[in-house]
Structures are given as C-alpha cells and as structure tokens.
Chains A and B, each alone.
Chain A
C-alpha cells in the first residue's frame, strides 16, 4: 500500500510537470488549440460530396414547351448552374474537355413530340468522368430531377388517363438530407484529437532527449511504468478535453444532432486516446530526434486516417486491406462517434467497438512498456 502511495506521489509530480510544460509554453498552447479548430472548420466545409452549382451546359434542339420546362428544372436546381447554352453538337466536346462544364444536357429535336405521343422521349446527359465521384453524384441528381419532371408531366397530361407512374419512396435514416457535414464532423472529432494526442506524445520524449532533460528524469526513482503513465496521461487528458470541445462546436455551430448517450462518446474517446498515446510513446522510444519522431508519427497517423473510413468507406477496400483496418483504432471510434451523434447507438454496437480498441491499447501499452524498459532504462 505504501509502495502504491509512493508510486502515485511520483506519478503525480510527473503529471504536474508535463501539464505545466505544455501549458506554460505559449507556442505549444497555440499549436495544440488553434489548428484543430481551424481544421474542423476548413475540412467540414471542404469535405463535401454534395454538388453545388456544378457548371452545366445545355444543348436544347427541341422547340417545345416541355423541353424548356425540363431545362428550367435543371437551372433552378441548386446542384447545377447553367454556364453555357450550346447551339450545336460539336461544342459539347469543347466545353467538357476544357473543363468549362462538368456536364452537358442534350435534349433531342423530337423530345416534346415524343412525350406527347407516348413514345419514350430521349435525353442525353454527358458528364466528365475525370472526377468519378462527382459524375456519380451528378447522375443521381439527374435521376431525381427527371423523376420529378415525369411526375409533373403525368399530372399535367395524365388528366385524361387518370393514371400516374408507380413510384419508389426513398427515405434515409439518421441523415435525411444526406448532409456531408453530419458525416464528416463526428469523424473529425476523433481524427483531429488523434493527431494532437499522437504528435504531442511522440514529440515529448524526443524533445526531452534533445534538451538533455530526459536523462535527468531517468536518474530519478521513477519506475518505467510510472514514467510511461506520466508521459501518456497529460496528452491523453488534453486531447480528451479538445475532443469534447470539437464535439460541442460540431453540435452548436454545424448543427450536427447528438442523439445518443454522451457517456459512450466519453468512454469511447478515453479508450481510444489511451491506445493512440501509447502508440505515440512507442514511436517516441524508437526515435532519437524530434524530427524523426515527427516523420515516424506521420507515417503511422496518415495511413490510420486514410484506412479508417473517415472519408471513404472501408467496405470499398479490397478484402485484405479491410482485414488490416481491424488494427486501426480510429476505425472503431468512428463508428462510436457517428453512432452517438447521428443515431441512438445501441449498447451492443458500442461494446462491439470498444473491446477491440481496448485490446489494441493493451497490446500497444505492453509493447511500449517493453520498448521503454529496453531502450531507455
């Protein structure tokens, strides 16, 4: 018991020292707080898959009212913005190749006639596939516009026949408007705290080594385990507070709903941060200088972000790579965060994501501990 108290006394002294060293350094304070908030804003606005005012060129060869109606629907849609009205087919290649327009809507000369006579009227939509996702999204918008248009035409002309098109009702759970920010912000809350936590931990030992203060720590009676706890706790705690701050900004400024239990979010974030700070510490023990530590942590963090499902779904990856993502703690916290924010995450799902993170944390902590013992003590 007295051993435990002595150990706690030493850890407490170290934690206070670490907190002070981060907090009293004006530059560190700025670097830790400002960039994540800025990144939250820039990335929330930049990381969008929606289409806004995509440049559209129109080639309408039909003289009828119906075709003008259709064009008007495209013009008024927020997704598109008509930038050019073409007069002949040759111009299509030009506007697309030169990237003046993302897509061309071409309505053939018989459109109105076909529509009235009950023949399937043809519309061509030519889209630049260089940005494949944009093209896909554009196509899905076009489908929606055409469907609405068909319905309206049915209502207009179907009066005589009293019959409409059988429709498909589509609803989206959790995010009815397909809002990209709702998707990206819960993810960014975890990702940005991960960057802060890993980098701070990774740099702290390396910096002390460069300054020569690390030896001074090693000659104190701190046991390796105490040193480890004292080194990871302060960055983890700071990143935790930062995570909560970012979450609050997401809810208050971006209007992301918070439907689940915030307790899951807190527990999830805590387990997550413990596992990533131990990774940071491992990086730190394996490197000699701050610069090496920085590049090494970059080499760890970057793949974690790319292969987490933050921007692109894990399901799209090849199987071998999907298997690899099970080693990535960010993958699990993303599910928890998105679940807590957008849906009322069931406890079963929360637990199914928590235990792998805890396991990863336990393994990396053991490994960091061993490395710590052999490399520095």
Chain B
C-alpha cells in the first residue's frame, strides 16, 4: 500500500491546482473581489436604524407647551417633524408614504395636559413596516416621556413622578446597527464565497474526465483532499482578510478582540464552508448541481437563520432548532463578539467548538465519499 501522503505527489498536485487558479482568474475574483462588492452594497443597503423618519405634526392649539414639545421633537435625531396644516393633509401624507407617522396636538392640548386621566397627544403610525413602525412609535413615546420629566423639573406639576429609566447599551452605545450588521454580513458573505470556491473543484475534475485519469495514478484520497483544501483555504483566508480590512476602513469598524482569536475563528469557519462546497462537489460530481447546493445551502439560510438580522432568540422553537445546523450562526456570533465586545472566551469557545465539530463532519463525509473508483 502506498503512503497516505507522499510529499512529491502532494507537491505536484498542489502545483497543478495553483497553476489552474492563476490561469483562470474567476476563483480569485470570487474569493477577493466578489465579497468586497457584496460587503459594500449590502453594508450600505442593510440598515435597521430607523433614523430621520419623517413625521407629520398637526398643531391645532395655541398653547405654548405645544411649541415646546415640537422643539423636543426637532432635537431628536430619529424623527424629522414636518408641520402639516390640518389632519386631512397629514392623513394624505401618511397614505402616500411621505411620512411614517402623524402626531396630533389637539386644540385642547393645553387643557388636557393638566388633567389627570387625559391624553393630550395622538400618534398614528403606518404599521405596514412593522419593525420601523414599532421603532418610530417607541421614539415618539421616548420623546414624550423625556419631555414630561424635563417639564416637571422646570415647572413642577402635581402629576406623580414618572419612573426614570436609564438605558445602558453595552458594546454598541449609539445603537448603530451598522456596527452589529457588518460583522454578521462578513460571516454570511464568506459562507457563500467559501462554499462557492470549492463547490466546483472536484465536480470539475469529474466532468472534464480528469478524475478518471487521476484515479489510475497512485494519488491517495488524503492527497486529493489536501490538494483541494490547501489552495482554496489560502484563497478564502485572503478574501477574509480583504473583507475585514474593507470593513475597518470603509465602514470604520474596529476590532475589540485579538487578531489571534479572529484568525483562529476564521480558519475554523473557512474549513466548514470549504467542507460544504467540497462535500457537494464530491457527492454530486456535477458542477451545476454542486453550485446550486452551495448557493441555496449558504446564502438564504445565512441571511435569515444565522441571527445576522433576525434574532434567533425570537424565533419559534422549531426554527431555532433548525438554526443549529446553520454554520453561519456560530460565526456570526463569533464575529459580533470579536468586533464589538472583545475576547470573551466564554462566548467564543462554545462557538469555536461547534465550528470544529461541523468542519470535521463535512470533511469526514467528503473523505468517505471520495472513492478510488467510478462506482
């Protein structure tokens, strides 16, 4: 029996892979250029902060407090108040999507402000976009509460003291959604890129008939796997580096954790996603099917089930269980921690362990499915 790894054979095979990568720049484009374009487009495109939301303000009262409240609204960075002459106009604006909400200060505003059980302000939001609507409604509520507290300090009234809640947001003081989205985005993009890189490479050998010729040589299964993994691992890590640098420069992110932890986490993750592609490629022996699998198994689950936009903790139990098999889930969490919080090993290690297990699983299956004959 021949040795599992013979340096000369492996070197020869690696040299061939490298020449192929160099001659056909498409894999370099996929590894380095594509993730940058995607990060650029999606980094700007995906934003959850409902900032600068236009809101119509209808003031029917001459009470001085109304102008005071309007000033507080103006001072708020999330809402842009626009004065509307009357309610029908404001309603028209809401229906035609010119504004997200209507704030009505009725003609009895001043009077009601001093009555006990009363509601001096009416707010109407367009609930179509549930998330934005909830946030806008929350912002207005917040402005109102702050205004009441401030007013009490200026001119104490007889109303009972509202409770003063201090919100402390850790790791992301300004609640800038970009800071939390970009690390997740990097994870989702690299899932796709990694799987796409290797989805073709084994299937290509089958389709072009080169595998049949390789099988007649003493090349072993281990050498074949290593020969495919090593070059694309390097390529994927290069893509990862470029993407991270891009996030640091263009989006102004910073890394709180150590580079070592980042490299370690990325390497494990790269093995997982390369493993997915390699497995698809080995099992299907068909570039087309393998790339379909790579695309559908990575991109949409990555977007929706990784916790990158939608919090996994809020999903129903069945869906939550499904997310455990989405490798991006672990990497999204790792990157968010490393970018925003730091080397918190208690949060990092379980995720790394999960990635290691998944990587071993995929590569193990690939190895099993790598045959030395055509059956």
Direct contact of A and B (CB under 8 A): yes
Give the residue name and chain of the A residue nearest to B103 (CB): A168
Residues of B within 8 A of A294 (CB): 288, 291-292, 295
State whether the Cβ of A26 lies closer than 8 Å to any Cβ in chain B: no
State whether the Cβ of A208 lies closer than 8 Å to any Cβ in chain B: no
Partner of A161 from B127, B140, B160, B322 at Cβ < 8 Å: B160
Residues of B within 8 A of A170 (CB): 122-125, 137, 140-141
State whether the Cβ of B369 lies closer than 8 Å to any Cβ in chain A: no
State whether the Cβ of B46 lies closer than 8 Å to any Cβ in chain A: yes
Partner of B159 from A42, A46, A144, A164 at Cβ < 8 Å: A164
- Check B166–A124 contact: CB distance below 8 A: yes
Q: Which positions in A face B, CB cutoff 8 Å?
A: 35, 39, 42-43, 45-55, 96-99, 102, 114-115, 118-137, 139-140, 142-144, 146-147, 149-150, 153-154, 157-158, 161-176, 178-180, 182-183, 289-291, 294-295, 298, 302-303, 306-307, 309, 311-313, 315-318, 321, 335, 338-339, 342-343, 346, 348-349
With both chains docked as a complex, state the minimum distance between the C-beta of B353 and any C-beta of chain A, in angstroms: 15
- Check A163–B336 contact: CB distance below 8 A: no
State whether the Cβ of B131 lies closer than 8 Å to any Cβ in chain A: yes
Most interface-central of A45, A55, A339 (chain B CB within 10 A): A45
B97-139 vs A, Cβ < 8 Å mask (1 yes, 0 no): 1000000000000001111111111111111111111110110
The 6 A-B pairs of least Cβ separation, nearest first, read: A129-B172, A140-B138, A175-B127, A172-B127, A316-B47, A164-B116
**15 A-B contact pairs sorted by A residue (CB < 8 Å):** A45-B318, A47-B310, A50-B314, A52-B316, A99-B333, A123-B164, A129-B170, A130-B336, A144-B141, A171-B123, A172-B127, A183-B129, A289-B288, A316-B47, A349-B97
Residues of A within 8 A of B167 (CB): 125, 127, 139, 142
State whether the Cβ of B360 lies closer than 8 Å to any Cβ in chain A: no
- Check A162–B116 contact: CB distance below 8 A: yes
Most interface-central of B166, B167, B296, B305 (chain A CB within 10 A): B167
Give the residue name and chain of the B residue nearest to A70 (CB): B163
Residues of B within 8 A of A143 (CB): 138, 141-142, 145, 165
State whether the Cβ of B259 lies closer than 8 Å to any Cβ in chain A: no
Most interface-central of A51, A130, A154, A349 (chain B CB within 10 A): A130
Residues of B within 8 A of A125 (CB): 165-168
CA distance A136 to B124 in the complex (A): 20
- Check A165–B41 contact: CB distance below 8 A: no
With both chains docked as a complex, state the minimum distance between the C-beta of A231 and any C-beta of chain B, in angstroms: 19
- Check B180–A129 contact: CB distance below 8 A: yes
Partner of A165 from B50, B125, B162, B305 at Cβ < 8 Å: B162
Question: Chain B: interface residue count, which band?
Answer: 35 or more
Please judge, given known A-B contacts A133-B131, A137-B135, whether A49 and B140 are in contact too, CB under 8 Å.
no
- Check B125–A307 contact: CB distance below 8 A: no
CA distance A111 to B310 in the complex (A): 35
Residues of B within 8 A of A53 (CB): 313-314
- Check B287–A97 contact: CB distance below 8 A: no
- Check B315–A45 contact: CB distance below 8 A: yes
- Check B161–A306 contact: CB distance below 8 A: no
- Check B180–A131 contact: CB distance below 8 A: yes
Residues of A within 8 A of B340 (CB): 129-130
B156-194 vs A, Cβ < 8 Å mask (1 yes, 0 no): 001111111111111111011101110000000000000
Residues of A within 8 A of B196 (CB): 295
CA distance A118 to B340 in the complex (A): 39
Please judge, given known A-B contacts A42-B319, A130-B341, A174-B126, whether A307 and B295 are in contact too, CB under 8 Å.
no
- Check B291–A291 contact: CB distance below 8 A: yes
- Check B161–A49 contact: CB distance below 8 A: no
- Check B134–A298 contact: CB distance below 8 A: no
Most interface-central of A129, A131, A158, A163 (chain B CB within 10 A): A131
State whether the Cβ of B374 lies closer than 8 Å to any Cβ in chain A: no
State whether the Cβ of B48 lies closer than 8 Å to any Cβ in chain A: yes
Give the residue name and chain of the A residue nearest to B300 (CB): A39
Please judge, given known A-B contacts A125-B166, A175-B128, whether A140 and B305 are in contact too, CB under 8 Å.
no
State whether the Cβ of B261 lies closer than 8 Å to any Cβ in chain A: no
CA distance A124 to B375 in the complex (A): 66
Residues of B within 8 A of A291 (CB): 200, 287-288, 291
With both chains docked as a complex, state the minimum distance between the C-beta of B50 and any C-beta of chain A, in angstroms: 7
With both chains docked as a complex, state the minimum distance between the C-beta of B33 and any C-beta of chain A, in angstroms: 12
Please judge, given known A-B contacts A161-B158, A163-B160, A167-B119, whether A133 and B138 are in contact too, CB under 8 Å.
no
State whether the Cβ of B368 lies closer than 8 Å to any Cβ in chain A: no
- Check A122–B164 contact: CB distance below 8 A: yes
With both chains docked as a complex, state the minimum distance between the C-beta of B302 and any C-beta of chain A, in angstroms: 11
Residues of A within 8 A of B291 (CB): 291, 294-295
Please judge, given known A-B contacts A127-B168, A133-B48, A162-B116, whether A118 and B347 are in contact too, CB under 8 Å.
no
- Check B133–A178 contact: CB distance below 8 A: yes
CA distance A149 to B165 in the complex (A): 12
CA distance A346 to B97 in the complex (A): 12
Residues of A within 8 A of B114 (CB): 166
Please judge, given known A-B contacts A137-B134, A315-B52, whether A306 and B180 are in contact too, CB under 8 Å.
no
Give the residue name and chain of the A residue nearest to B47 (CB): A316
Partner of A132 from B165, B176, B346 at Cβ < 8 Å: B176
CA distance A345 to B106 in the complex (A): 28
With both chains docked as a complex, state the minimum distance between the C-beta of B308 and any C-beta of chain A, in angstroms: 9
